[in-house]
Amino acid sequence: MKTSPEATFQKMNQFGKEKIPFFFMVDFLKETPLALALDKVNPNEILFDFQGQKNYDLSPEKKTISFEVLDTKSHQNNYQNSFERVMSHLKRGDSFLTNLTGSIPIKLNVDLKTLFFQSQAAFKLWVREEFVCYSPEIFVQIEKGKIYSYPMKGTIDAHLPNAEEKLLKSPKETAEHYTIVDLIRNDLSLVAENVRVEKFRYLQTLSTQTGKKLLAASSKISGDLPQDYPQKIGDIIQMLLPAGSISGAPKHKTLEIISQSETHNRGFYTGVGGIFDGENLNSFVMIRFVEKSEDGSLVYKTGGGITHQSELEKEYQELLQKIYVPTT
């Protein structure tokens, strides 16, 4: 019998109350969440490596990963239609920031499990040869009663002249980052007190399989949880979703715009996954995502934030720029 989403979040609360470590993953629309006691996670079905916490000991031999982006023309046409629909809402003031995503067909020289082992990222997850993601973005972390979020918004090719300055001084990227920080601060205020921005717009370097490097801008936000937070851990996760960085602001209206504008089903892409160890939680946003379709073909799900300052061609190029495999 299929478990209801509400029952799964209640199961997380029960795990938290009993201090039972558990693994979880939640899809974008919170329709098919999964929570398993950590010792019940089967490595034949789910493999994870979350900042070094992993459920396998294998070290497969190194393989060269290569992939090809297929048929961007039809996707670009779909993206343009979606972009124009989003822009009409932005110009009306329905949304200040909308995260627009799509699925781009790709061809890989390895299977998804091999891709999982060969990629290097803070958070990696493989699920039954259905999808793999290798994400640099933390969703929330809980440590000693404090909750932290590190929204990542804004990327640029690190090899461009004055890349750091261009990213930090871009009016569009700055406005987008301010919007997301404000949204995440409001989200954390739903579950925590004394919410504050500890660090604003610091840069991280991300490496790709081609040797290319990207700069990404993040901020650090924190708050104080109530003492009984472990027994509410499922409620906390549910209240914070969907993640602000992959939806937009204001969140409720922007989710309506996304539903009307996007031409694909996000599924677990832009959902979240993580581990609660009985006291502390580590979780991530499921971006940098490769999925196997029912016919066996592969798609890379990617996206980015759209504001009233956005330009179609620039946004599409940034979207393509995010199609990569992070390697050492």
Domain definitions of the chain by residue range: 5-145+225-321
* Predicted confidence (pLDDT) per residue in 224-261, tens digit: 999 999 999 999 999 999 999 899 999 999 999 999 99
DSSP state letters, 75-105: HHHHHHHHHHHHHHHHHHTS-SEEEEEEEEE
Please, which residues bridge with residue 295 across strands?
Answer: none
Asked if the model's pLDDT at residue 211 lies above 90, the reply is no
- Sign of the C-alpha dihedral computed for residues 152, 123, 142 and 251 taken in this order: positive
| pLDDT for 158 | 84
Amino acid making up residue 240? L
Assign domain 5-145+225-321 to its CATH architecture. 4-Layer Sandwich (3.60)
Conformational region of residue 145, where left means phi above 0, alpha means psi within -120 to 50, and beta covers everything else: left
Peptide bond into 151 cis (omega under 30): no
Structure tokens at 283: 């979780």
10 Å CB burial of residue 211 (0-12, 13-18, 19+) is exposed
| pLDDT for 155 | 76
Which percentage of the chain shows pLDDT scores above 90?
A: 70
Which are the contacts of 176, defined by CB distance < 8 A and separation ≥ 6? 97, 153, 154, 305, 307
* Predicted confidence (pLDDT) per residue in 2-37, tens digit: 789 999 999 999 999 999 999 999 999 999 999 999
Q: How far apart are CA 101 and CA 319, in angstroms?
A: 8
First to last CA, the chain: 43
DSSP letter for 199, please. E
- Sign of the C-alpha dihedral computed for residues 113, 139, 23 and 302 taken in this order: negative
Asked if the model's pLDDT at residue 98 lies above 90, the reply is yes
Residues 259, 263, 269: CA angle, nearest 5 degrees: 75
Q: How far apart are CA 8 and CA 26, in angstroms?
A: 10
- Sign of the C-alpha dihedral computed for residues 301, 306, 310 and 312 taken in this order: positive
Q: How far is CA 218 from CA 59, 74, 185, 284, 326, in A?
A: 31, 32, 14, 14, 18
Most confident range (mean pLDDT) of 59-63, 159-163, 309-313, 317-321 is: 309-313
- Whether residue 111 contacts residue 129, with contact meaning beta carbons closer than 8 Å, is answered with yes
- Residue whose C-alpha is closest to residue 276's, from 4, 7, 41: 41
What's the pTM value of the predicted model, to 2 decimals? 0.91
For residue 208, name the pLDDT band (cuts at 50, 70, 90). Answer: low
